[in-house]
Amino acid sequence: MERKIDFRIIKNYTEGKYSFRDFKLIIGWFEDYSYRSEIEAALQKHWDELPLQHTETEKDLSQVFERLQKQIMNDKPVFTLRQRVVQFYARTAAVLLLPLLCYAIYTLFPGKVPPQTAAIEIYSPLGARTRFQLPDGSNGWLNSGAHLSYISDFEKERQVKLSGEAFFDVVHHAQKPFVVTTPQLKIEVLGTKFNVAAPEGESFTEVVLAEGKVRLTGRTADFSQLLDPDEKFVFDQQKKRGEITRVNAAQLTAWKDGILIFRNEPLEEVFKRLGRWYNVRFELDNEQLRSYRFRATFENETVEEVVRLIALTVPISWEMQERVMSPDGIWSPKIIQVKLKDNIPKQEGKR
Amino acid sequence: MNRLDFKNDQELISQLRKGSPVAFQALFEKYSSKIYRFSVSYLKTESDAEEIVQEVFLKLWENRSRLKSGTSFQSYLFTVALNDIRKNFLKKTRENKFYFEIFETLSAEDPDLETRTDFGSLLAKLDSLIEQLPPRRKEIFIKKKKEEQAVAEIALEMGISPKTVENQITEAMKFLKKSFEADQISGMLFYFLVIS
């Protein structure tokens, strides 16, 4: 039996030129352990010769990346054996306790057992969009870091609580209004498409209507307001008042399709939306900078690329602070400080 | 879109070790295409190659904290990809064993089939020829060749005589043999016409 493998046969195989006989040889080499290092050498050579980028049409692997992202987001925390043992006993104990508890409630509060209404929560991981569907068929998207909750008898009362940004496509139901509550606003609708942004830690709430009609009611201030399509309502918690402007709703809701569209928007607004999208805090230190108008469409870029691209048209420099972990194990958001560039042409953004 | 190669691997890897999704994405954008092209040249199907890319990067993420900074990142990727490709290749070979057995039978009578260097398309052709068999014949053929059931068992299961089972298999093999012969003749004819 021959002990050497033929690199040429393998090379031809990778290029699609191989016979049944060649293929049987290759199977043998892969199966037989004694060829292991030779096979490895042959493949190593091939690997080393392969360029990083292909000149011709590149295969689109974005779906593979999306699948990966989902797998990674579902990363379960790893428990040590000790923790697992404790967990096992805790669970077992809980199961064993349950009938006892039921019996206790039943005997202590006859006829007064409260209906089971569990809260259902949907959380969109930072840096990702999450699609959701509600029991009534309404659906939508949660932006990075957003959080939506509702109680399990949702069918009776269509009520959801939101923090962060979300786009809703609500199924029409004349008898049952759909209500979104944020810390500052109550938004009532019958059946429409709209976008709500109530970022945590910010003093404003923003509602953009794409279709239909919604009624907005203040929770921290006394007002009630109807909104028409292509109108944006921004409630300012500090001033306790809201303001309506005409906008292009399609642009402001395109994030749900993975696209960010800016058309002649002040830089302040641009960075606000980018911050939500990438879970980054932008700090602008210059008043003049806030009002710079900007126009661009971004799709699938990293935040560094986006800032670089902005710097091509707007005279800014930036500095990035990496995320740091506080002693309690919570990561701070990444902070990007944006400065107006001096008149003297200097090097581009420092990193 | 525009790819900016603004960070070197060491920088990206040290960020990945800290759990940076941005670094992970940058590495994916930089290396996924190479891993894909490498894998597809051995496994020959897009879905298998995509699976390798996914597995390699999943392992990269899971082992991010144990990544060493000194060694070459490319050789790390190679090692992981090689192992996954080997596993997948052997698994596929086992699954497709019956195709090879059919070719073994066919090439015993027609030695050319063994040396033709377009085995990839011969495999695809065999697959489509099996699809073309009449439904019942195909069912029997698959049971016998792929699922390796005994003739008596198939006969019992389908409520027919063992003789019928055998006939159906013989007919199927005859059909395959004829089709490959015809393929070869037309191939030769094509060659003849083009050359002359």
Across the interface, whether the CB atoms of A302 and B25 are under 8 A apart is answered yes
Its sign, for the CA torsion B187, B193, B194, B196, is positive
Size of interface A-B (CB pairs under 8 A): 114
Q: Is the pLDDT of residue A84 over 70?
A: no
Chain B, 74 to 113: residues with Cβ < 8 Å from chain A are 74, 78, 81-82, 85-86, 89-90, 93, 100, 103, 107, 113
First-to-last CA distance in chain B?
49
Q: What confidence category does residue A117 fall into, taking pLDDT thresholds of 50, 70 and 90?
A: low
Contacts of B157 (CB under 8 A, 6+ apart): B143, B149
Helix (H, G, I), strand (E, B) or coil at B37: helix
Contacts of A280 (CB under 8 A, 6+ apart): A274, A303, A333, A334, A335, A336
- Supply the pLDDT for residue A75: 53
Q: On the CB side of A235, how many CA atoms lie within 13 Å of its CA?
A: 27
Q: What confidence category does residue A29 fall into, taking pLDDT thresholds of 50, 70 and 90?
A: very high
First-to-last CA distance in chain A?
60
Residue written as token pair 């009611």 = A217
Across the interface, whether the CB atoms of B34 and A50 are under 8 A apart is answered yes
Nearest to B82, CA basis, from A18, A38, A24: A38
- Ranking A347-351, B88-92, B97-101, B103-107 by mean pLDDT, the lowest is A347-351
Cβ of A82 under 8 Å from any chain B Cβ? no
User: Distance between CA atoms of A153 and A119, rounded to whole angstroms?
Assistant: 9
Its sign, for the CA torsion A329, A305, A261, A56, is negative
Q: What is the dihedral of CA A96, A99, A100, A102, to 10 degrees?
A: 140
Across the interface, whether the CB atoms of A65 and B31 are under 8 A apart is answered no
Cβ of A156 under 8 Å from any chain B Cβ? no
Q: Between vectors from CA A147 to CA A145 and to CA A149, what angle results, nearest 5°?
A: 170
Count CB neighbours of B119 within 10 A: 22
Across the interface, whether the CB atoms of B25 and A12 are under 8 A apart is answered no
Nearest to B121, CA basis, from A186, A19, A150, A110: A19
> Which residues on chain A are in Cβ contact (under 8 Å) with B114?
19-21
Q: What is the pLDDT of residues A224-265, one digit of tens each?
A: 888 888 899 988 888 888 888 888 888 888 888 878 888 778
Nearest to A216, CA basis, from A202, A204, A206: A206
Cβ of B115 under 8 Å from any chain A Cβ? yes
Burial class (CB in 10 A: 0-12, 13-18, 19+), B158: middle
Across the interface, whether the CB atoms of A15 and B41 are under 8 A apart is answered yes
> Which residues on chain B are in Cβ contact (under 8 Å) with A31?
90, 93
Residue from the list A20, A39, A44 with its beta carbon closest to the beta carbon of B113: A20
> Which residues on chain B are in Cβ contact (under 8 Å) with A27?
93
Across the interface, whether the CB atoms of B38 and A54 are under 8 A apart is answered no
Q: What confidence category does residue B104 fall into, taking pLDDT thresholds of 50, 70 and 90?
A: very high
Per-residue pLDDT, averaged over A147-152, amounts to 84
CA distance A114 to chain B (A): 44
Whole-number Cα distances in Å, B37 to A7, A118, B26, B27:
18, 49, 18, 16
**Which of B11, B54, B66 would you mutate first to test chain A, the one with the most A CBs within 10 A?**
B54
Structure tokens at B163: 């003789």
Distance between alpha carbon A286 and the CA centroid of its chain, in Å? Answer: 29
Q: Return the residue of A nearest to B51 by Cα.
A: A64
User: Distance between CA atoms of B88 and B22, rounded to whole angstroms?
Assistant: 29
Helix (H, G, I), strand (E, B) or coil at A181: strand
Q: Is the pLDDT of residue A79 over 70?
A: no
Its sign, for the CA torsion A74, A77, A79, A83, is negative
Q: What is the pLDDT of residues B11-32, one digit of tens each?
A: 888 888 888 888 898 899 889 9
- Supply the pLDDT for residue B189: 64
Q: What confidence category does residue B33 fall into, taking pLDDT thresholds of 50, 70 and 90?
A: very high
Residue written as token pair 């428990």 = A79
Percent of all residues in chain A with a pLDDT value above 70, rounded to a whole number: 84
CA distance A166 to chain B (A): 22
Cβ of A64 under 8 Å from any chain B Cβ? yes
Across the interface, whether the CB atoms of B54 and A64 are under 8 A apart is answered yes
Residue written as token pair 């199907």 = B45
* B89-109 core/surface letters (b: 16 or more CB in 10 A; e: else): beebbeeeebbeebbeebbee
Contacts of A36 (CB under 8 A, 6+ apart): none
Q: Is the pLDDT of residue A143 over 90?
A: no
Q: Between vectors from CA B19 to CA B13 and to CA B22, what angle results, nearest 5°?
A: 70
The ipTM estimated for the assembled molecules is: 0.86
Nearest to B41, CA basis, from A38, A54, A34: A54
Chain A, 293 to 322: residues with Cβ < 8 Å from chain B are 299-305, 308-309
The strand pairing partners of A168, in sequence order, are A140, A194
Residue written as token pair 């195909």 = B138
Q: Is this model's pTM higher than 0.80 or not?
A: no
Greatest mean pLDDT among A151-165, A335-349, B110-124: B110-124
Q: Is the pLDDT of residue B141 over 70?
A: yes
